[in-house]
Amino acid sequence: MSDKFIITPNGPLKGDVHISGAKNAVLPVLAATLLTGQQCLVQNVPNLSDVEAMCGLLESLGAGTRWDAVAGNLTVCAEGLDKHEAAYEWVGKLRASFLIIGPMLARLGRAKVPLPGGCAIGSRPVDLHLKGLAALGAEIEHAHGFISASASKLTGARIYLDFPSVGATESIMMAASLAQGQTILENCAVEPEIVDLANFLNAAGADIRGAGTDTVKINGTQTLRGVTHSVIPDRIEAGTFMVAAALTRGDIRLTNVMADHLKPVTAKLKEVNVSVAETEDGLRVFHDPCAEVIAADIKTMPYPGFPTDMQALFMSLMATAAGTSIITETVFENRFMQVGELKRMGAEIKIESRSAVIEGVAQLAGAQVNASDLRAGAALMLAALNAHGKTELHGAAHVDRGYCALDTRLNALGACVQRIS
- Do the Cβ atoms of 9 and 416 come closer than 8 Å? yes
End-to-end CA distance of the chain, in Å?
8
User: Within 10 Å of residue 60's Cβ, how many Cβ atoms?
Assistant: 15
Question: What are the DSSP calls for 118-146, one per residue?
Answer: ---SS---SHHHHHHHHHTT-EEEEETTE
Distance CA 230, CA 157 (A): 30
Exposed, middle or buried by CB within 10 Å (0-12, 13-18, 19+), for 141?
exposed
Helix or strand or coil: residue 226? coil
Question: What are the DSSP calls for 172-187, one per residue?
Answer: HHHHHTTSBSEEEEES
The dihedral over CA atoms of 148, 373, 242, 251, expressed in degrees to the nearest 10, equals -150
**Active-site residue flag, 416:** no
Measured in whole angstroms, how far is the alpha carbon of residue 253 from the centre of its chain? Answer: 22
Count of CA atoms in the C-beta half-sphere (13 A) of 69: 9
- Do the Cβ atoms of 102 and 108 come closer than 8 Å? no
B/e letters for 267-296, b = 16+ CB within 10 Å, e = fewer, are ebbeebbbebeeeeebbbbbbeeeeebebb
Active-site pick, 77, 119, 188, 404: 119
Task: Identify which of 195, 199, 244 has the alpha carbon closest to the alpha carbon of residue 19.
Answer: 244
Count of CA atoms in the C-beta half-sphere (13 A) of 119: 25
- Do the Cβ atoms of 348 and 376 come closer than 8 Å? no
B/e letters for 209-224, b = 16+ CB within 10 Å, e = fewer, are ebbbeeebbbebeeeb
Active site (catalytic) residues: 119
